[in-house]
Amino acid sequence: MSDSTPPVNPYLTVEPLSPSDEKLWATLIHIGGILFGFLPALIGYIVLKDRGPFIREHTATALNFQITLVIAYVIGTVTSLILIGVFVLLAAWVIGIIFAIMAAIAANQGQGFTYPLSIKFVS
């Protein structure tokens, strides 16, 4: 008769990140949003969300904010025909940069951060 425990698959085990690695990845994900939009937050959320509570919180927060920015960019683009959209696009761009820097600083210091004006899509 065989043993009832399933074989251990090393590819399915998830090693938690060290606190310094969590801070590093969270900082990079927030800064990456400035350059690459929602992709760093999405990839970080998918790959790192199970590696620690700190990185899960920051990747979900960054992803929620980046999705909110995409919505603002779409609204700004559609309404740019009536000129107000240009101001919406400019405001979203500036707010995205400022808040991403603030979030990266908080992540680097090991603190949580909540983006103002962000809609919560993932948790």
> In angstroms, what CA-CA distances link 103 with 15, 79, 82, 87?
25, 29, 33, 24
Q: Does the residue 12 lie in any domain?
A: no
Please report whether residue 5 resides in a domain: no
pLDDT in tens, the chain (123 residues): 555 666 666 666 778 889 999 999 999 999 999 999 999 999 999 999 999 999 999 999 999 999 999 999 999 999 998 999 999 999 999 999 999 999 999 999 999 999 998 999 998
Specify whether the CB–CB gap between 122 and 95 falls below 8 A. no
pTM as predicted: 0.85
Examine residue 51 and state whether it is found in any structural domain, yes or no. Answer: yes
> Are 51 and 16 contacting, i.e. CB atoms less than 8 angstroms apart?
yes
pLDDT, residue 14, reads 77
What tokens appear for 64 in the block?
């929620």
pLDDT the model gives residue 2 = 54
Whether residue 71 lies inside any domain: the answer is yes
Residue 60 lies in domain:
19-108
Is residue 33 situated within a structural domain?
A: yes
Question: How many domains is the chain partitioned into structurally?
Answer: 1
